[in-house]
């Protein structure tokens, strides 16, 4: 059971606060950040940490806690902001993002940051490790669940599909993959760089039970993720259709914001847009 159990409106507010901190965090970073990816995933992270995951800041070493793996490690800025909101790390740490000897490096590092379960950054690594963890949990009789967030562009890495085959072979219904399908990667459209569609058909062909939703709609995320928990016999994937840069109009769906951060008047404008809920 998640310690928060927030409703959709409460989670939406947490996502707004995460986005505000994303703007500040990236603007203050000496090494930049991945603003677009941080913003697209904010609703997903807020839903997981404030309702879905069976874990909390006091149980980070509990062997029966649910495990969350951020496979799209470049989006760690959004994860740090979520961990601060949920009480895993002090909020004052956010101002040190990517500074020398910070607890918050540019990609997730388990040895540096409370609440981080796996060092990621090289794309395509998170899902294979998640499959191993899910298989180990099955073999040991554990009821814990393994959640992993991938980017859509990340699925061009073949290691994901090798892992998917193994997950289906072993019937890992304790494995939950969430694809942040924001339709952009690096400097362009995912459909132009390496087409994925029909993505639902691909996952189904690899033996997954497939769900889809608007990944920036908290109510849909809650409904989809909770429904997935009751299904058995196969690994689960949720294709979450998102907008890269969601929440800030001049960042939304703009490929140049993959690795760009707001400066000057852009910071003020972004924070103003995020100053209140919709």
Q: What is the pLDDT of residue 3?
A: 77
Q: What pLDDT score does 187 carry?
A: 84
Q: Hey, how many other C-beta atoms are within 10 angstroms of the C-beta on 164?
A: 24
pLDDT for residue 186: 85
Give me the number of domains the chain comprises.
1
For residue 218, the model assigns a pLDDT of: 98
Asked if residue 166 is part of any domain, the answer here is yes
Could you read off the pLDDT tens digit of each residue along the chain, which spans 278 residues? Answer: 787 899 999 999 999 999 999 999 999 999 999 999 999 999 999 999 999 999 999 999 999 999 999 999 999 999 999 999 999 999 999 999 999 999 999 999 999 999 999 999 999 999 999 999 999 999 999 999 999 999 999 999 999 999 999 999 999 999 999 999 999 998 899 999 999 999 999 999 999 999 999 999 999 999 999 999 999 999 999 999 999 999 999 999 999 999 999 999 999 999 999 998 76
Domain for residue 113, yes or no?
Answer: yes
Query: Is 1 inside any structural domain?
Result: no
The reply to whether 176 falls in a domain is yes
Q: What angle do CA 43, 47, 52 make, to 5 degrees?
A: 160
Query: What local confidence, expressed as pLDDT, does residue 1 receive?
Result: 75
Residue 68 lies in a domain: yes
- Give domain status of residue 187, yes or no: yes
DSSP 274: T
Q: Is 2 within a domain?
A: no
Q: 43-70 in b/e burial notation, b at 16+ Cβ within 10 A?
A: bbbbbbbbbbbbbbeeeeeeeebbbbbb
Instruction: For residue 46, give its domain range.
Output: 8-274
Q: Provide the CATH number for the domain around residue 187.
A: 3.40.50.970
């Amino acid at each position: 059971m998640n310690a928060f159990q927030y409703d959709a409106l409460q989670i939406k507010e947490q996502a707004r606060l995460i986005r505000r901190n994303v703007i500040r965090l990236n603007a203050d970073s000496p090494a930049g950040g991945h603003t677009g990816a941080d913003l697209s995933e904010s609703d997903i992270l807020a839903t997981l940490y404030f309702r879905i995951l069976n874990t909390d800041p006091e149980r980070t070493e509990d062997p029966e806690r649910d495990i969350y793996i951020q496979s799209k490690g470049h989006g760690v800025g959004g994860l740090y902001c979520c961990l601060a909101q949920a009480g895993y790390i002090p909020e004052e740490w956010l101002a040190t993002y990517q500074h020398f000897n910070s607890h918050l490096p540019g990609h997730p590092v388990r040895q540096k940051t409370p609440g981080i379960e796996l060092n990621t950054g090289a794309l395509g690594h998170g899902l294979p490790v998640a499959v191993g963890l899910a298989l180990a949990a099955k073999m040991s009789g554990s009821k814990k669940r393994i959640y992993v967030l991938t980017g859509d562009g990340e699925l061009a890495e073949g290691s994901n599909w090798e892992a998917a085959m193994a997950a289906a072979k072993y019937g890992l219904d304790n494995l939950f993959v969430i694809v942040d399908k924001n339709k952009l990667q690096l400097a362009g459209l995912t459909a132009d760089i390496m087409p994925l569609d029909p993505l639902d058909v691909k996952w189904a062909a690899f033996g997954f039970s497939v769900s889809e939703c608007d990944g920036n709609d908290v109510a849909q995320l809650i409904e989809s993720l909770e429904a997935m928990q009751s299904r058995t016999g196969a690994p689960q994937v949720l294709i979450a259709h998102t907008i890269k840069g969601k929440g800030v109009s001049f960042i939304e769906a703009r490929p140049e914001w993959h690795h760009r951060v707001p400066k000057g008047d852009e910071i003020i404008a972004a924070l103003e847009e995020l100053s209140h809920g919709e």
